[in-house]
Amino acid sequence: MKVLVTGVAGFIASHVSEALLARGDAVVGVDNFDPFYPRAVKERNLQGLQSRKGFQLIEADVARDPLPLEGVDVVLHLAAKPGVRPSLEDPGAYMEANVTGTARVFDAARRAGVMRVVFGSSSSVYGNATPAPFAETVPAVSPISPYAASKRAGELLAFAFAHLYPMRILNLRFFTVYGPRQRPDLAIHRFTDLISRGQPVRMHGDGSSERDYTYITDALDGIVAALAWTERAPEGSVDAVNLGGGARVRLDRLIALIGAALGRTPQIERHPDQPGDVRLTDADLAHAGAVLGFRPRVGIEAGIRNFVRWYEEIHGRQS
């Protein structure tokens, strides 16, 4: 199988590209190296790919440039401007990258006769109004950040394209994926860095907010299963599926787990809740199990230990 992976230099996309190459697929990776975080970090993500047979890297912007779709069987669209809080500062740029970019990916695939697409969406589409656990059957119509709105808009575009054309599109709603190579701005990576250096951690709220965290290997299982779904689903099929870790973790417990894995006592700075942040994410995984056979296997304790081990290998253990 030949797979076009957008956002290939990112955390999730670089991991899934390695997994696809390992099983014998060819990967055409596209990335525009957006300066949201340093290019050097993204190039390090690609180190395991650059010399691999069957991998091709093309530097391009999916919202503006032609896509290399010749011979491609399926598109895995993970390129996006990420982050809830940064989207509050520049919502227009998020709409261009995440909505216009997604529309252009779907349209380019359709025009090239590539009728199979997996789209990386987000648990943020559920907002604060969805009862827990979050089921895909509940209307996600109240996003509370531009980022969340852009991801929901991408899902709606998928429904329109699958309805109008014989496309098969699966929207994957990721619930806080973490693990080696996680983006440096995300909480687990940021907290680990601060605690390891003896710096205080900014904790927004009283620590009772909860997240459903998904370890990277579990996310990869779900993505690979989603790619297979696009091959067997009837023409004109579209669906949304949660990919979560199967448990809610309080913020204060998460910080404590990171501290324990590092062998340090975290210093906490308390701050008010931030606009755009949801109080809770909680994936209902019944649909994912039925559609993809998805079952998360890595719990938060083991996942945090794995992440801290990787962090210390990259940065060294702080004395």
Active-site amino acid positions: 147
- The Cα–Cα gap between 257 and 251 comes to 10
Q: 146-149 long-range contacts, Cβ below 8 Å, gap at least 24?
A: 146/87, 146/88, 146/91, 146/94, 146/95, 147/81, 147/82, 147/83, 147/84, 147/86, 147/87, 147/94, 147/98, 147/122, 147/276, 148/84, 148/122, 148/124, 148/276
State which amino acid sits at residue 33: F
Whose tokens are 């060819």? That residue is 26
- The Cα–Cα gap between 8 and 139 comes to 30
3-state secondary structure of 72: coil
- The Cα–Cα gap between 32 and 12 comes to 16
Whose tokens are 């990335």? That residue is 31
The count of residues in the chain is: 319
- The Cα–Cα gap between 101 and 116 comes to 17
Closest by CA position to 240, among listed 175, 294, 172, 286 = 172
Neighbouring C-alpha atoms within 13 Å toward the C-beta of 188: 31
Q: Which residues are CB-neighbours of 315 under 8 A, at least 6 positions away?
A: 193, 196
Terminus-to-terminus CA distance in the chain, angstroms? 47
